[in-house]
Amino acid sequence: MSTIKTNDGTELYYNDWGTGQPVVFSHGWPLSADAFEDQMFFLASRGYRCIGLDRRGHGRSSQPWQGNDLDAYADDLAELVEKLDLKNAIHVGHSTGGGEVARYIGRHGTKRVAKAILIGAIPPLMLKTEANPAGLPMAVFDQLRVGVAVDRSQFFKELSLPFYGYNRPGAKISDGVRESFWLQGMMAGFPASYFCIKAFSETDLTEDLKRFDIPTLVLHGDDDQIVPIADSALLSSKIIKGAKLVVYEGAPHGMCTTLKDRVNAELLAFLKA
């Protein structure tokens, strides 16, 4: 297994496929690097080195009680980049992973970064506040915490439906995709499953987005039921200087899976541009 040990002793697992310019993938909650397997295999087959990190507490990484916040996630990503000595890297973040990429750039700059891609990403802020009146109320995130605490196995099974838009009329449901979502969710430790909710909902990434000085692509589905587009991509694409926004009509949160061919082609075109 490919692993690194962070400064606080956390062991992080990562996939490392192919050779060429590095493309680093940061996954969403409660998943693992496997959520990006379609994109990683596609790009690795086309001359890129694809690296997918299992965030601390998720997937095959160890499950520390501490550090389940975006500062630690960003610092872990920085340690991976530095230990592998990645240069001119393209960072791809989905959902919470998009917040991880934003905080990484906010804390560590872009000296090793060539481009960034945010897909269904949480920035700038999901929670409704006085400064962010269009956000989601705290009750929404409290409900997620209750679901994890009461029966997280059943909760993850049910969450897979809106995640992939399988609760929409006429949706073509893949039981295999739902089972993969559940399996990845159950591989996450209980602390990460619970504490990461606060991390992705309450972290204001506005100032981090202002530090982006590299070409950035923002992809989002306008039927995203997990990270509503009005609270995220429509705002972040305006904050990031020169960002390119592409809206997928009718697409769900998990569009890297349900619309993988379109997403893969979009990523490849942006990487080559």
Q: Compute the CA torsion angle 136, 138, 140, 146 (nearest 10 deg).
A: 160
253 is catalytic: yes
95 is catalytic: yes
Q: Are 193 and 65 in contact (CB under 8 A)?
A: no
DSSP secondary structure letter of residue 176: H
CA pair distance 173, 158, nearest whole angstrom: 13
193 is catalytic: no
The one catalytic residue among 224, 231, 236, 237: 224
Q: Are 102 and 93 in contact (CB under 8 A)?
A: yes
The one catalytic residue among 95, 160, 201, 237: 95
CA pair distance 51, 141, nearest whole angstrom: 30
Secondary element (H or E) of residue 109: none
Please report the DSSP string for 124-171 in residue order: S--B--SS-TTSB-HHHHHHHHHHHHHHHHHHHHHHHHHHTTTTSTT-
Three-state SS at 76: helix
Give the active site residues.
95, 224, 253
